[in-house]
Every structure is written in C-alpha cells, then in structure tokens.
Amino acid sequence: MSDERTIHYVDALISALGREADQSKERFAKLTRVPRVVPDDCRALWHETAFAFIFGQYGAALITCCAFVERLLSRSIEEFEKTKETPSRTVPIDIGPLINRARNIGLITKEEQKELDGFRKYVRNVIAHGNTKELADSMYKVLGVQTGYCTRW
C-alpha cells in the first residue's frame, strides 16, 4: 500500500470475506451438489452461481442461475431429442420457447413447466430486462418472508 491510511481493494475484500465467514458457511451448507451428468459448461455456471451465493453476492447468483437454467434446458433438449431419434431442429434461444419445447417433447412435466414459467416471469425476465424497481420489490418480499416481517402483501 502506498498510503498507510488507505486499504487496498483486495485487502478490503479479504477482510469482508473474513467477517462473513460464518454466514458463508451456512449458505454453503444449504447448497446441493450438481449431479455428475451435468455437461461441463452447465457445471461451470452452477459453480459460478454457488460461489456468488456462498459469498452473499445475490444479484450475481441470480444472474448466473438464470444462465444455468437456460443452458441446461438447451443442452437437455438436444440430448433428449437425440435419444428419441427425433428429426434435428434448431433449439430455441429464448427461455420461454425452451420451456415450451421441453414440455412438448415430454422432457418436463406440466407442473415443472409451470415452475419454470414462474422462474422465467418472476426472476429471469426481471433481471434480464433490468426492471430494477420490480427486482427491488421482489427482494423486499423475499426479505420479508425470511425475517417474518412481511407486511406488503
């Protein structure tokens, strides 16, 4: 450090991580392991999501989780259609058509489709389209549920 009164950015991060160690361990304990059969590109996104969540970077965790879900759906559709020997078609890019295609080919159930549509509507689209007010309201609701002080709805 050039100035004794100034803490280096990396030192500040390390210090903050140290203060958050107990909470980080609790968040780590809540995570499930990614299955071995998950493709490497999806596994990498899962690890990025887990890392961000463990260290309390919830925005980053949500963003990488969205990418994980989209990529896993895309890869799963490709592999599922290969096993069914269905004619090769281009896999959709957008999450809505991915979810619909997964349901139409029997990869997911109707209930799973509803859950994924809820994820798409209330998490992914809010983040992807940058609706910060809606995202902040959602986070407020989650915090209220977690703390038991939810009075807005």
With 70 as the cut, is the pLDDT of residue 135 above it?
no
pLDDT at 139: 61
pTM as predicted? 0.72
Taking residue 112's Cβ as centre, other Cβ atoms within 10 Å add up to 13
pLDDT tens digits, one per residue of 87-97: 778 898 899 99
Instruction: Tell me the average pLDDT across 62-83.
Output: 92
Q: What is the DSSP string of 91-150?
A: PPSSHHHHHHHHHHTTSS-HHHHHHHHHHIIIIIHHHHTT-HHHHHHHHHHHHHHHHT--
DSSP state of 35: P
Q: How confident is the model at residue 131 (pLDDT cuts 50, 70, 90)?
A: low
Average pLDDT, the chain: 83
> What is the domain partition of the chain in residue ranges?
31-147
pLDDT digits (tens, 9 = 90+) for 18-56: 888 888 899 899 988 888 889 999 999 999 999 999 988
- Residue in this structure with the two tokens 């392991």, named with its chain if needed: 33
